[in-house]
Each structure stands twice: as structure tokens, then as C-alpha cells.
Amino acid sequence: DEEFWLEDGNIILVTSLRPTAFRVYKALLARQVEAFADMFASSTAQESESYQGCPVVQLADAPEDLRHLLRVLVPTTDPLFCRAKDGPLPTLHQFSAIIRLSHKYRIERLQEEALTVLKDQYCNTLDAYDRRVSVYARPVSESCIPTTHMIEIIELARLTDTTSLLPVAFYETQGMLLELLMDSWLRENGTVVHLSRGDLQRCVNSRADFHNASLDRTLRMVRLADTVTCELGCRPTLIHFCGGLDSDMYLCLEDPLGRDTSQCSWSWLVENYDCYPDGIAPCETCIAKVRAQEKEDREKLWARLPWIFSIEVPGWPA
């Protein structure tokens, strides 16, 4: 391996898939990974199992995965989770390799560190969801339509029994075409990952719930417009607003958890609509009522996410 063939290394790890040799430090790995310590202790020093005086240990892993793990355990530059403020984000392939190998070799500290970072993205509170920023670089193929990378997030959550990742991960499959859901995620090591039949069914069955939530949210907005009272008489203005939205605007409201700052929110549209009669927008008091109702709708739906996907998530907000 070009990156991890260290001339003063004293042990060689060879991957079984696409055989690649990594020359690293025996004691450094053994002190961090008990499974490696046991493996090294049980290896023999026969001539056929050594090279340039170093014992050779076979690992049933892919070189791409092992390389990502070694970048953390034997960093030649910066460890994975330590980066400059504006530095490049890790990739999902890096997270996947580290979580899977940490799980396999029982490196609990490292697995928890990687999962903690993912929990910032696939969080368990609505406030955290509204504040979140990307924790890993999005796949190059991702545009306005999510790619199949959500399949990998669900798979990692299942592997490590980290159910708190699942509600948001399942929710974000709602923007995926059914063909993509039934497709697969290709790992960097060549492994193809599919959703289990049960998880695929969860994603499909939940679509009716989110469609109904979007419809209910729209009806509540229309009802609010028809019943609002204020000194400035904003009722006709809000009624005009609801009747003036075109089909494209209603389509952008199909995401019932759309963040308040996005174009998937009623409050954003009320504040940015540019076709009010005489150019007069609703008063701030009426806009605040729209915001309050929207927040209530989103909080109710957030609390129902585990129920919608038929999963149990300890500690999920009620």
C-alpha cells in the first residue's frame, strides 16, 4: 500500500480481498485494539508467514476499508474527526468503513465516536434537526433528488443497533424515487447494499402518512386564513394568498418537516409572497400565528416519526 507501507513498521497486514499489504506498528495497533492484540499473539513466526523479518497477518477485509481505519489508528496526517473549520468533510465511505470495522474488531471507543458524529446529522430532536449542518460530504451524484446513500445510513444503524439514527434516515427516503429505494448503495470496497424487505416496506408504507400530513397542514393553513382576526383586517389578504399559490408552490410544501428557513414552509411563503393585493403583506401578528401553527404541526409529526416507521426509539421526544 502506498500510504501505509512504513519502512520501520514491524508487522504486515494483508487483506484477503484484492490482496494488499500494509506495513505498520504492532504495539501501536495492539494497544488500541484488543482483537488485534489477540490476533498478533496467536500468529506464528514461520518463514512462510513473514516478510523482510516482519510477521504477516491475514485480514478478511477490503484494502479500502482497512486504509480508512488505519488513518485513524495510525494517522499519517490528521485523524478523521479532527479537521480545520473549513477543511474537507469526511466521506460517507470513510464513516461506513470505520463503523463497520470498529464493530467487527470491537473498537468501541472509535465506533461510538463515529456514530456520535452521525447522530448530529440524524438527530432525535426537531431543534437539532433545524440547526444541523452536513457532517459528511454528499455523494457526487446527489442533486435535488437524494441518492441511495440513505440505504447505507439505515444499514449502519441496523448493524450497530443505533435506532436513534433511523427516524430521520427513513424520513429522508421520502424524497427518493421508488426505483432508487429498490436500488442499492455501492460501497467503496465493491459491496452492494440493499434495504431489507422490512425496511423497504417501512419506507413505502410511510408515504401515505406524510402525504396526509402535508394535506392536513394545507387545510389548517386555509382554516387559519379564514378565521384570523386582527385590527388591520388581514383575513382577505391571507385568503388571497392561499388562493393565489400555484401548483409548483404547493408541490414545494409536500415536505411536512420542511425547515422554517426553506421554501418548504408556509411561514416562508407568507413572508416572501409577492402577489398580495396592493402589495400589502399580512401584519407581523398574523405571520406569527402562521409560524406558531407551523411549529405545532411539525412538532406533532416529529413525535410520531417512530410510530410512522414502526420502530422503537428509546428517548424519542413524546
Note whether residue 70 is domain-resident: no
Domain annotation covers residue 310: no
pLDDT digits (tens, 9 = 90+) for 51-66: 888 999 999 999 999 9
Q: Which amino acid is at 252?
A: C
The answer, yes or no, to whether residue 44 has pLDDT greater than 80, is no
- In angstroms, the CA 14 to CA 19 distance is 6
Is the same domain home to 284 and 188? no
Whether residues 85 and 173 fall in one domain: yes
Beta-ladder partners of 12: 23, 56
- Say whether 55 sits in a helix, a strand or coil: strand
Domain that holds residue 254: 209-303
End position of a domain, from candidates 155, 171, 195 = 195
Residue predicted with more confidence, 296 or 87 = 296
Task: Note whether residue 130 is domain-resident.
Answer: yes
Residues 187, 82 share a domain: yes
User: Confidence band (pLDDT; 50, 70, 90) for 157?
Assistant: very high
17 Rama sector, left if φ>0, alpha if ψ -120 to 50, beta otherwise: beta
Taking the C-alpha atoms of residue 213 and residue 203, their distance in angstroms, rounded to an integer, is 15
Residue 313 domain flag: no
Residue 228, sorted as left (phi over 0), alpha (psi -120 to 50) or beta, turns out to be beta
Structural domain count, the chain: 3
Q: How confident is the model over 196-218, as a mean pLDDT?
A: 92
Shared domain check, 224 and 142:
no
pTM for the structure as a whole = 0.89
**Mean pLDDT across 24-29:** 95
pLDDT in tens, 262-283: 667 888 888 888 888 888 999 9
Radius of gyration (Cα) for the chain, nearest Å? 26
